[in-house]
Structures are given as structure tokens and as C-alpha cells.
Amino acid sequence: MASISGNERPDLRDLLAFYAAAGVDDALVDDPIDRFAESAQRQAAPAQQPVQAGEREAPRLGADRPAPPPPRPAAIAAVPDEAQAAAARELASKAASLDELKQIMADFDGCNLKATAKSMVFADGNPEADLMLVGEAPGRDEDLEGLPFVGRSGQLLDLILAAIGLDRKSAYIANVIPWRPPGNRTPTPHETEICRPFVERQIALAKPKVLVTLGGPSAKLLVGSQEGILRLRGSWKSHVTADGTVIPVMPTLHPAYLLRNPAHKKLAWRDFLEVKAKLRELGSH
């Protein structure tokens, strides 16, 4: 980072790099707001006295300056509530194909996360694949590219898939939440309930032979358990679709967790060996 001394101005790229390193990676409105100009204007305008009849209003300093425009909201943010979740359930059930579902989700404005995300992250890989993996929610890289698991945890996921002889042409990858929560915060229970019908319909339409949930939130949602992921992982559970199809689910650790806890990679390795054996048992190539 360049040092700022005397009249020297910081290089804008350095300033942006500083913001990114400090965790500021989202602009919530398109046009910058000059808060200094706003407060200068407020200070310049003294509290208005009532004008007596016949008395001329004294000119106020700054009164001829146009009032600053009110800040523009980034988008209309829906309040996450049961009505939005009901609307999502109704809409998702109407999708007859993955393409239709993607369009329905793109048109849906009932999830506030859409207002701050740059893109909708629907899926990557092969929708015809026997194996479907479901993560939690897109991060910054996924939001920028519009694809799931393309950042560091995605690179690790690719290595894990390669270790059992698979890649993105032989697996289908999605998330519980298709819009990045601002600053990668944990999605609220309401946001998750709103997005649940979409991912459930996505699974029902993709019809995988085997599901792998990556991390605690997607395991809890898709197998309906309150247990922590370290207890849930490693043994077969089931996901039942709306039409009653039972899909075997292997809950495993999230690649981002494995990056932070490399000693637990051996647990994920065991889980994926189970997945490989199950796929073979079910006649998958």
C-alpha cells in the first residue's frame, strides 16, 4: 500500500485494495453518496424560524443550493416472511424443467438477498449426472462468476471429485441459497425457508441417484436433522422429494471448513469413498 504524505494522494487501486482487505467488497448502491456534502449542507442551514405575517424571510446561507437527492435504494428488498416462502413454494412446484425453474427463480423478487447479490448462482456441471452436490450459499467469487464453487473451496472440491474419478461433467453442483448473502453472512432461517422450495424442486427435477450435502446447513435442511455436521457426516441419510422418491444422502464437511481444518480432510476422504462405492452399487459409471 502506498504511504500518504504531504499532498500526495493515495493511488485509487491501493485504496480499493485496502477496502477489499478490510472486508468491504460490496457497493450497496450504484452511485456514490457524498456524505460530507450532505452534512455541510445541513450545517449551513440554520433551524427554520416561523415567518411572521408581513415579515420577509431572511435569505439563508446555502438556501439557493439544490437539496441533495435522497439516496437511491439498491433494489426493492423484500421482507423475508412466511408469505414469501409460500409464494416460493407455489412457484417452484410449477417448474416442469430445470430451465423453467431457473427462469422462475430469476423472476422471483421475494428474497431480500437478491437485492444485494450481483448474480443468481443456479448450478454448474451436468444436470444429467448421477451425483448432485449441494452447498450452502455463494461467496464472493461465485457471485462474480454466477457459478457455484469457483473460489478456493471450489478448487478443493474439484480435487476431491477428481480423487473419486469425477469432475464437473459427471456431477451436478448447486446451493441451498442461490444469492450471495452480503459479506458472506449466515443466511437467516427465513431466507433459508424462502429458498428451500427452489433447491428441493431442483433436486426433484435433476433426479440424482446420490446426493452429497456440503456443510452443516445443507445437511440439516435436506435430511431434516438438527444434529451438528460432525455427527451427521459419514453415514447414509435420505432425502425424500415431493413425489416420494427417496434419494440416499451423504452429509460431509464443507470444503471451506476443510481448508481451515486440514486435519479433517481424512474424514471427507472417507465420506467420498462411500459415495464412490454407492454410485458403483447403483450401477453408475
* Footprint of ligand URA (CB under 6 A): 135-139, 142, 148-149, 153, 175, 256
Kindly tell me which of 149 and 179 has the beta carbon lying closer to ligand URA: 149
Kindly tell me which of 57 and 202 has the beta carbon lying closer to ligand URA: 202
CA gap 13, 185 in Å, rounded: 26
CA gap 268, 239 in Å, rounded: 20
Cβ of residue 125: shortest distance to ligand URA, in angstroms?
12
Kindly tell me which of 108 and 149 has the beta carbon lying closer to ligand URA: 149
Kindly tell me which of 167 and 281 has the beta carbon lying closer to ligand URA: 167
Secondary structure (3-state) at 125: strand
Kindly tell me which of 101 and 137 has the beta carbon lying closer to ligand URA: 137
Kindly tell me which of 71 and 183 has the beta carbon lying closer to ligand URA: 183
| Closest residue to ligand URA in the complex (CB) | 135
Rounded to 5°, the CA angle 166-169-174 comes to 95
β-pairing verdict for 210-214 and 171-175: unpaired
Cβ of residue 87: shortest distance to ligand URA, in angstroms?
24
CA gap 37, 249 in Å, rounded: 56
DSSP 221-281: HHHT--S-HHHHTTS-EEEE-TT--EEEEEEE--HHHHHH-GGGHHHHHHHHHHHHHHHHH
Nearest one of 143, 141, 135, 220 to 177, comparing CA atoms: 135
Cβ of residue 258: shortest distance to ligand URA, in angstroms?
12
Q: 168 is written with which cell numbers?
A: 464437473
Kindly tell me which of 1 and 259 has the beta carbon lying closer to ligand URA: 259
Which amino acid is present at 98?
A: L
Cβ of residue 2: shortest distance to ligand URA, in angstroms?
33
CA gap 238, 208 in Å, rounded: 12
Cβ of residue 132: shortest distance to ligand URA, in angstroms?
14
Secondary structure (3-state) at 55: coil
CA gap 176, 202 in Å, rounded: 10
Cβ of residue 138: shortest distance to ligand URA, in angstroms?
5
Cβ of residue 4: shortest distance to ligand URA, in angstroms?
36
* Buried/exposed code over 238-250 (b: 16+ C-beta within 10 A; e: otherwise): ebeeeeeeebbbb
